[in-house]
Structures are given as structure tokens and as C-alpha cells.
Chain A
Amino acid sequence: MSPPPTNSDNDPVLVRVENAVKHFPKRGGLFNRVIAKVHALNDVSFTIKKGQVLGVVGESGCGKSTLGKVVIRLHRPTSGKVIFDGTDISQMSNQQLRPIRQRMQMIFQDPNSSLNPRMTVETTIKEVIGLHDVVPESKMDETIDQLLKKVGLRIDDKMKYPHEFSGGQKQRIGIARALAVNPEFIIADEPVSALDVSIQAQVLNLMMDLKEELGLTMLFVSHDLKVIDHFCDSMLVMYLGNVVEEMPCEDIHAHAKHPYTRALLSCNPITDPDQRGELTVLEGEVPSPYDPPAGCPFVTRCAIKTKQCETENPPLLDRGNGHRVACWEVE
């Protein structure tokens, strides 16, 4: 066991999600009726303590981005609660949300599509600051200069347009925009997935420094287990809209219990040619979220399934030390 040395049990909780469910209707047929539902989130509960980074990992379509958007209320959950610092924000109107949104900001995956190509860096950041009115006009320039310095951009960069920057620099602009209103909570949705390895390390380092310096709490969504393992304190593993396992990151390799987590671990190509051939290949593909299996969501690909798995979805049970697993077959 190693850092972070926190007496985390006493830390107050910043974000609490209780039984969040999100369905997206699919319309079609006569009169454009609802003909099917995508089960994007299915009864998801977790908490994030102040100053902690929670990672969410899973394959495409598992609901990890939806989860991020529900927490920041870009989506309204179908049912369940999202409690931010003691306030239930799950059914609030946009107007009620505005003061809270200043405290939670998002960093997006693709800096090309999340920055307005017609706005200079300065206007982009000014827009956010103006919306939340956190800095008086007279101090605006100074604030923007400080922000740019903080994320490793040059001050004369502020008059440039997004196309003049490289991918890594664009992501730095995205980070500067998120930090402009002094948020406490950041949701980062695949912030380094579009970047090259060497640039990915730069951006991860930057986020790590800023987190320390500003005491940020984060929800970090990624498909890359290596990045989550490196960056986060604990992680949720999602499969088909369900959380199948939650554990502290230090437990990943030794104590991951759910067969899906174990498969993810062994599918992640190890950067060591001597450890070749140890990939256990997971057969089959993720079932359609329109028609998830009746029992455990993982049952169609699981090697240790039993009769019970096909009919009943296992609950996410606490196994101590912040480790929760949803599997009938795991002790």
C-alpha cells in the first residue's frame, strides 16, 4: 500500500450519486412512438470524496460518458439522485443549476470540436468567466494571463485561434477554460485519448499538478485502464450501463475480482514483449443496449457463469476497503 495517505473515511463527500438510471428513448414507426429504450445507465450509485479522483473505465457504449453527463447535469437522469455538496441537483432547472455549474466544469475529449474555431483563446475564456461573473472586468486580463501561464501556454497565445495550436495545446486551452471559473469539481471525459503518447504524458502531468495545486475533485472517464490506474485514487468499471466493480486503484492488479475487470486487465497489451501470449481473449461482443440480457449484463461473455447469472442481475456488494463487486460467483 502506498500514497495517497489520506484518512479518507473522515473526508466529507462532495458528489453522491444514488441509483441513477438513464434511458434514452428510440422513436420510430407510426406516429413516431417510443419503440425501444437504450438502457444507458442502470442503477448506478457511488460517492466521490473531496480531493479524490474517481476513474470510470469501460468499453465504448458502456455508459461512462453518459454517467459524466448525468453528474454534471447535461443529461437529466430518468430516476435517481445526483447530490452535489449536499444539494440534490438531479431535477433542477437550468436556472437553478447556474450557480452550481460554476463549481463543476468539464474537459472534453476532442479539443477540435469543443473549441469554437471562430473565437480566440481570450474570447473563449472570457465567455465562460462572463457567464458566471466571477471576475470583475478590470481584473479580466490579469486573470486570463495567469490562467494561460498555469496551463503552460504563452501569454501572447491568447490572441490566436484554435487552428493555430497543436492537439496538446488545444487540450490545454480546454483545461484553462474549465479552470477559469475556479471550480471545485472537474469532469474529464477522455481528456487524453485523442493525443499522442508523448503529449498524453504532458497533459496528464499538467492535470496532476493542477489537481494538487487547486485541490480539485475529479471524475475521470477513460477507456484506457493504464491511464486510470496511473491517475486515479479509485475506479468504477462499467459494462453495459452497470457498475460491475468499484475498487481503490492500488487493488487493481492484485485484487480485481469481477471476470470482466480481469479480462480488461489481460486484454490491455503489456509493453513487454516477454509477457506475450498471456492475453486471455474475451470471446463475443457487448450485447445491444436496446436489449440487455435479463440477468447479469456480462453473462453472454462470461467464462464462469451459472444458471443464476442468466436470470438474476447480481447486486454490487461491499467486500470491504471500498471494494464492491457485482458477481454471483465471486466470494
Chain B
Amino acid sequence: MPDEQPILKVRDLCTRFKTGRGIVTAVDGVSFELYSGETLGVVGESGCGKTVTNKSIIRLLPEHVTRYGEGSVVDYRGTNLLELKEHQMRAIRGNEIGMIFQEPMTALNPVFTIGWQIEEALQYHTDLSPSQRRTRAIEMLRLVEMPNPEKRIDEYPHQLSGGMRQRVVIAIALCCEPEILIADEPTTALDVTIQSQILRLMEGLKQKTGTAIILITHDLGVVAQACDRVIVMYAGQIVEMAPVRQLFHNPKHPYTKALLDSMPKPGRAGHQKRLPAIEGTVPSLFNLPKGCRFAERCGHRQNNCETALPDLIAIGNEPHSSKVRCFYPLGETA
């Protein structure tokens, strides 16, 4: 666990959208820190706000319908990113904070070669000459283990397979050596054998460059394999934040526990038995319950869960101890 100053501090982030049905709060009071050289996992089901949180950090949400809360702060090296002008933000985005998107086919422009697309980022953020940019682009492709980079650099996205396209997206994200890399479901569209290649690649790059990674995923297997610390989100809020071992071996929030239990396990014990599913569905953001947002589906709920919303409270006194949003966190032996 790194113990220096965090590179990114998110304080009480609230993101609201104006919609046809009124204002909706997609992210509600999210706070966390990110340290250099760590991989922070963000997990949750669709619509829980994990993507919106990260798009708020890099300000990629449509400005005309998005409002940030009064006290929301995204502190990157002493600057509140939420207050920057678009042109100031552009100098940071892609340069100091890189992004990898889920679907590599839509993230790449089909009418330009992949070399052009890597060089575009370099042209905007560096003073390299055209020939230096090309050398650097080939270097980047080699770094992401693209086979035959000198030839591939002049190819178009449609000539590449899904795994190779994702490598190009990673090369673009990393070509300016960002301090922070936000990866939004980077392997979800890929097959498992390609997924393990990409995860290994990201791990290797992190160790080489010391980049901090925020890895957004819905796959708990990916979290277990790739992350150091984990944030679990539910209906726009953080419900649990813990080091990865603790989260898997000793989950504190009933939702985390239920998520882990509902995965099919290898081995014969549960074979063709009913899975402990979480009944019901995620509440609509337009019609949130007054109390705990998970109360309706929770097996441990008590009377006050339905009337009061618990805070995110630290368990233990250590600086990196886990936090949980529950009145009745699960015990040590849970």
C-alpha cells in the first residue's frame, strides 16, 4: 500500500443530469483518493454510476445537461478539475489523465490509420517533429506488444482484431505518459484469452511507468486479478471501499457479500444448485428510497434501514482501512 500523498482526491462528487423527467442525481456524494502506482477498481452493476463518476473526473459529460454539486471537488495536484475551462481541461485530458474505453471499435476513428491516431495525441500534447512522432508511435505499439508494429502503423482499425484494437487504444492513452489512466471496462468486449493478455499488459505498463489506474468493471473476477483497492458502488453511492483481499475474504456490506455469493463457483459443491441470487432490482434513480438504497433487497435489513440513509464510515483507525455504508456491517467471520 503506497503511503505518499494521493495524486487525485475526489471529495463529495455529485453529478446531476437534466432530463425530460426532471433532475436526476447519477452520482451522489462520492469521495475517494487515488495513489501513484496503484490500481483502484470500481465495481457495480449497470446504472450504478461507475462510468459517470469517472467521466466527471475527466469532464467528458455533455456540459449543457450536467451539473456538479456545490461542494464537489476533483483535486488533481491542487487544481479542482471541475472548475477548469474546457481549453485548460484539454491540456490535461489525454496528457496527464489518459482514458481507455470499453468498445475499441467506436473509440477509434475508422477513416484514419492507427498511426495517425496515435500521432494526433502526440501532436497536440508534445513538441515532437513529425518523424519523431512516428518513431514514438511505433515505440508505443511495440510497448503494447502489437505484432509487427512497423507494418501495422499504417493499417486502419477495421484491419485489426478486437484485441489488437484495444492495444491501439491503450497505446494512444499511454503515449503522453499520463499520471492517471482511467480504464472503463477495457476487457468487457474481448474474449477471455485476449482479456488475460490485456490485463497482463496493463499490469506490466503500470509497473514500468508508475501510472495510477482506475479500472471500472462489472466483473469481480477481473477485480480479484488486477486491483489493489476496490470501490463498490450501488445506485450512485459508494457502499464499500476496501483493499482487494479484505473485500473478497471479509466483505462488510451485505450488497458486496451478495454480489460475491451470486457468482457461479467452480467445483462440485454448488453444481446445478440454485444460486443465492439478489432478488429484486436496482431502484430507479428517479424514485430512490428514503433510507438505505439497498434496503429493499437486503437480507439483513432492520427497521431503521428503511428510514435513514447510513453514512460511509471507516472501520478501524488505520489510514487505508476499509469504509462501509451500512448500519449493520457484516462481522469478522462473515
Contacts and interface: CB of A to CB of B under 8 A. Distances in A.
Contacts of B46: 167, 196
Interface string B217-228: 011111011000
B275 A205 contact: yes
Interface string B76-97: 0000000000000000000000
B271 A230 contact: yes
B265 interface: yes
A199 B281 contact: yes
B268 A208 contact: no
A268 interface: yes
- Counting chain B CB atoms within 10 Å of each CB, the highest count among A167, A168, A198, A283 belongs to A198
B274 A205 contact: yes
A267 B196 CA distance: 6
A231 B193 CA distance: 22
B165 to A, nearest CB: 11
A253 B267 contact: yes
Nearest to A203: B277
A210 interface: no
Interface string A91-115: 0000000000000000000000000
B196 A226 contact: no
B270 A281 contact: no
A231 B222 CA distance: 22
Contact of A60 (B191, B197, B260, B279): B191
Interface string B177-202: 00000000000000111111101100
B258 A198 contact: yes
B49 interface: no
A268 B200 contact: no
A200 B220 CA distance: 14
Contact of B268 (A2, A166, A269): A2
A276 interface: yes
A59 B192 contact: yes
B264 A204 contact: yes
B248 A230 contact: no
B220 A271 contact: yes
Contacts of A20: none
Contact of A198 (B191, B259, B266, B271): B259
Contacts of B259: 197-198
Given A60-B191, A198-B258, A270-B221, A226 B266 contact: yes
A201 B278 contact: yes
A198 B278 contact: yes
B37 interface: no
A135 B322 CA distance: 58
A276 B197 CA distance: 14
A6 to B, nearest CB: 12
Interface in A123-170: 166-168
Contact of B263 (A202, A263, A271, A283): A271
B224 to A, nearest CB: 5
A89 interface: no
Interface string A175-219: 000000000000000000000111111101100110000000000
Nearest to A249: B271
B26 to A, nearest CB: 17
Contacts of A223: 191-192
A205 B245 CA distance: 29
Given A202-B277, A267-B195, A250 B271 contact: yes
Interface in A248-284: 249-250, 252-253, 263-264, 267-276, 279, 281-283
A267 B220 contact: no
Contacts of B266: 226, 229, 252-253, 270
B132 interface: no
B323 to A, nearest CB: 18
Interface in B238-287: 244-245, 248, 258-260, 262-268, 270-272, 274-279, 281
A198 B274 contact: no
Contacts of A202: 277-279
Nearest to A1: B268
Contacts of A285: 161, 163-164, 194
B296 interface: no
Given A231-B272, A272-B224, A196 B218 contact: yes
A197 B224 contact: no
A322 interface: no
A167 B218 CA distance: 15
A28 interface: no
B281 A168 contact: yes
B45 interface: yes
A152 B263 CA distance: 21
A29 interface: no
21 contacts: A3-B271, A167-B46, A196-B45, A197-B259, A198-B258, A198-B262, A199-B45, A200-B262, A208-B274, A223-B191, A227-B264, A230-B264, A233-B272, A267-B192, A267-B195, A269-B195, A269-B199, A273-B225, A276-B224, A279-B225, A283-B197
Given A270-B224, A271-B248, A283-B197, 19 more contacts: A166-B281, A197-B259, A197-B262, A197-B263, A198-B259, A226-B221, A227-B264, A250-B271, A268-B192, A269-B225, A270-B221, A270-B266, A271-B224, A271-B263, A273-B244, A281-B197, A285-B163, A285-B164, A285-B194
Interface of B: 45-46, 161-164, 191-197, 199-200, 218-222, 224-225, 244-245, 248, 258-260, 262-268, 270-272, 274-279, 281
